[in-house]
Structure 1
């Protein structure tokens, strides 16, 4: 497995070292037991010496008990080491993902990250746990058993010397043949997990369009591919057992033939033949263990490469050494900004945007679908970095701020509102974990959420289910706005965050903003003209460029796009009345 991943062992190094030590002690006992049995047969039973049999029998029992004790300790240490190693790996990957920018996350699909955190880490855990036990056990068992066999009967030892490399080579060949199929499985697992996640998240849409049969068919198709790949791999690995059994019985037959002849010629005792057969079985069983662990390691190797990709991914955005931790005010400047999601040389989503916003202003942004409205505001809290030009907040390049300090002061309600499992109190306190109950209620009043929250049977202690599916779209938007307000930001960005509320509630929210947070810079992206009509400035975006800037009155006179949108909504509304 990859060396970088071994850094995650950390505090479980002790267990990782003790497990092989206990395994070695267990093997020593197991190797001595057949020798002790041979003495009981050849000396005690043959001479009819009951005292000798009892004495050697007690020693044999003690050896067996010690072997059992060492085996249990080895298993316990290996389990602790494997589980601890997996725990640390999960922590390291999850911690790394928290540092990713949107661009980093875009590189890995959500389903792929989930697979790496679950299936891949489980594979690595199992391989590591089995390795520190069986890879320590098998070589020592083979060597010691072979040495003991040599001391008893050299011809039989020579048979084993020839059998070990031949059988080992065959088992390794089987494992290598199966390996490519196991690698392919994990890519299909990503697709399978993505299908499940997509289906569960969009369950309401699936049911609304009665597409359950289509989704089931799609799932079965991917599941079948995973089944076929696993079946191909397991069919190859299945040869392990018959090859092993055939070799084992063949070797035992040869040993009985040679040993029987030696007993007849009185060059070998019956107990010695018994012990040699046991040693041979131990050797062949150890080879079987090696092949089994080898398959697991090869599977884990594919998983470890996928885990390494996440751990070695460099977060696109990192704090500079002398990062600034205080945002002076809510001034925002776009200095000839261009941006491409693909980076340098890619298609530009924003093109030479030059924009200046004074602290405390209310700015409306409007434009058609794909005009880069969301892209523009996502550059302010550094969810993405500019491709060229510069974005400044409080007169300072956003890249010079510490990310935490910048995002604490640039509060953004994203287009896709998300609530988490927990109470309404807990969800809103994402904005400030130390906020009092009164502060939570205050921001809810500003966001026009207090009324409907108080109507719930448990008020602010009402549990929000995963994804916030037990509240309406408009209620979810208002709770998310309240959460953003609790941060007391210098810049508040609403990315089409009032689309699901009625016009009266929308107006009340904007009124509360004007009266309660006059010094906060407010940027409102909206599809409805009424949501931004009273803004200090309205920006009209078209194809990633600023098409016009001004008040609603000014744009009605000078900007065709704004005038068309305004007339289609206002006059269309009048006609409907």
Structure 2
């Protein structure tokens, strides 16, 4: 998966890749040339006393060093551009893929994990690319070139390389093999920390209401401690690697000097040649040591790449058709035809053989006990899920055959949990229609019974809303969410228990306003309060995912036991109050 990601996202950036290769190659060649020049100065300049030769060769060495520095700077620049560009493209693709997910895919991965995959996981792959651009070219050139140049300088000491290099590779391999499981475990535990943190921030009011701060601190400390322990295991292995590498490097240096001294004593080699061989030996081992950086990062990046690939390779269960049906003239007729729906992995369907029609310009209410499938049912209309049996049609066309943008243009959804984005009231309302004027916004607020409290705010439409709408009350948040749908002016409105936080007077005023100003719109209302739906044109009674009643309030009161029980239970509560 790591290789596939790198090929996919680095292929378009071939000019930068060529630049990295060229300048890393030039830097490596310069590095390999310097020890030979150094040997020449010692053997031909210092020993023979040729000062002019020392100056000339020293000037060449200085020039080569400047070229080496310049090439290194340019290579790092190109490498950084390459890595940052890949990170940008990868994050963008993950984001666009996640935006296209249905509730099924989001629930499968979980929001905390998706956030981690688009931040921490991408960062690990990005760091690998940057380190590769810096080290992957120069490391093998230094190692292989060092071997060639060292053999040319003194073949008699080559056996030291045959011992030290394999020894170093064995040590690094043993450590890296143990690091892979630790890195894989660490990413999952980071997901857990993000999950707990997100839950605590989202549910801070619940935590405080039940005085569970200490419990949440312990829960977070436990998850954070797991990450710490795993990171320590990986860190200890990483810390062991570099002393081991330095041990081999230093022992090899001592061995070269030790055995080289005997060769100098016997006249088999020269001092400059020994220094050059030692420099090449160091370059070989440094090349191997730089490769260890890659070996350290590759396991973790590979784990992260696998997690990223899982997201990118997941096809949304709610996808656009290959050839979308030509959208008919918008009328707003919704038909549920023998609808069945089963959640992935569930033993039984949530909805069984649900059939009814919602005519244009009418209000259809859906009521039932908790868990009856009301929210799931209305979620099938905008394709938050797709039916697993039967069909849902709008104006005679199956919703699965619509172009998604065309389908969503016809639907205004007010979800069960009203959510507002950070920004102004105006920016939130314009999610419904980005071109809406201020007059359109005020008109929608008036219909949603929200104009009064918005006008009372000093900034009016420009009053700021905190993320999630936490700086307004639940009733105000619901009315703003309703106004946002009204700004859109679709043919079909779906109110999923959207009046639950409203008092009875505001509820009644809102329903009257909708009936008066939206006489041609189709309205589907999910509600728990009988008073909210008793004037609906038809009421659908759900029980355990099945339609057990269909009719008006008066008809169902007389003929349907389930509906009558709901009515009587609410009347009993009201009478008791």
TM-score bracket, normalised by the shorter chain, equals over 0.9
User: What's the CA shift string for 1:104-152, capped at 9, x where partnerless?
Assistant: 2121110110110011101100111112221211111011111111111
Deviation at 1:574, TM superposition (A): 3.6
- Would the aligned equivalents of 2:28 and 2:138 in 1 still touch at CA under 8 Å? yes
- Cα deviation digits, residues 227-268 of structure 1 (max 9, x gap): 111222222232212221221122112211221122222232
Q: Hey, what does 1:219 align to over in structure 2?
A: 220
SS state of the match for residue 9, structure 2? coil
Aligned to 1:2, the other structure's residue is in SS state helix
CA gap of 1:149–1:122, structure 2 versus 1, over 3 A, is same
* Paired residues of 2:179 and 2:299 also in contact (CA < 8 A): no
| 1:131-188: CA deviation from partner (whole Å, max 9, x where unpaired) | 2221211111011111111111112223113321231122122111111111111111
Mapped pair 1:471 → 2:476: no
Q: CA deviation at 1:493?
A: 0.5
Structure 2 Cα separation of the partners of residues 200 and 275 of structure 1? 62
Counterparts of 1:161 and 1:274, CA distance in 2? 19
Structure 2 equivalent of residue 375 of structure 1: 376
- Residue 158 of structure 1 aligns to a residue whose secondary structure is helix
Q: Shift of the alpha carbon at 1:575?
A: 4.0
Secondary structure at the residue paired with 2:439? Answer: helix
1:402 is displaced (CA, Å) by 0.9
**Distance in structure 2 (CA, Å) of the matches to 1:528 and 1:551:** 15
- Aligned partner of 1:193 in structure 2 is 194
Deviations 1:308-333 (A, max 9, x none): 00000011122223213535321111
Aligned ranges 1:9-88 → 2 under 5 Å: 9=10, 11-88=12-89
CA RMSD of aligned residues (A): 1.4
1:342 equivalent among 333, 341, 344: 344
CA contact (8 A) 1:363 1:536 kept: yes
* Equivalent-residue separation in structure 1 for 2:436 and 2:425 (angstroms): 13
Number of aligned residue pairs: 575
Which TM-score applies when normalising by structure 1?
0.97
- Cα distance between partner residues in 2 of 1:545 and 1:224: 48
How far the C-alpha of 1:10 sits from its partner, in A, is: 5.4
Say if 2:76 and 2:133, in contact at 8 Å, map to a contact too. no
C-alpha displacement at 1:2, in angstroms? 3.2
Q: 1:420 aligns to what?
A: 421
Equivalent residue, structure 2, for 1:304: 305
DSSP 3-state at the match of 1:9: helix
Once the two structures are overlaid, the 10-residue window that deviates more, 5-14 or 510-519, is 5-14
Q: Which residue of 1 aligns with 2:514?
A: 513
Alignment of 1:121-270 (within 5 A): 121-270=122-271
SS of the residue corresponding to residue 391 of structure 1 reads strand
Offset at residue 22 of structure 1 (A): 1.1
Note the alpha carbon deviations across 1:37-70, whole angstroms, 9 max, x for none: 1111222222222222111111111111111001
8 A contact 2:160–2:252 mirrored in 1: yes
Three-state SS of the structure 2 residue aligned to 1:293 is helix
Give the Cα separation in 1 of the matches to 2:124 and 2:497: 43
How many Å separate the matches in 2 of 1:372 and 1:395? 24
Cross-structure match for 1:536: 537
1:290 corresponds to: 291
In the TM superposition, residue 571 of structure 1 has moved relative to its aligned partner by: 4.4
Change (3 A) 1:325 1:456: farther
Q: Which runs of 5+ in 1 are unaligned?
A: none
Conserved in 2, the CA contact under 8 Å of 1:495 and 1:524? Answer: yes
Structure 1 distance, partners of 2:524, 2:540, is 10
Tell me how far apart the structure 1 counterparts of residues 446 and 283 of structure 2 sit (CA, whole Å). Answer: 75
Between the aligned partners of 2:371 and 2:500, the Cα distance in structure 1 is 17
User: Is 1:456 the counterpart of 2:467 in the alignment?
Assistant: no
SS at match of 2:435: coil
CA distance in 2 between partners of 1:468 and 1:3 (Å): 42
- Provide the C-alpha distance between the structure 2 equivalents of 1:557 and 1:32, rounded to a whole number of angstroms: 99
Is it true that 1:333 corresponds to 2:335 in the alignment?
A: yes
Instruction: Give the distance between the partners of 2:397 and 2:247, measured in 1 at CA.
Output: 76
Residue 35 of structure 1 deviates from its aligned partner by 1.1
> Structure 2 stretches of 5 or more lacking a match?
none
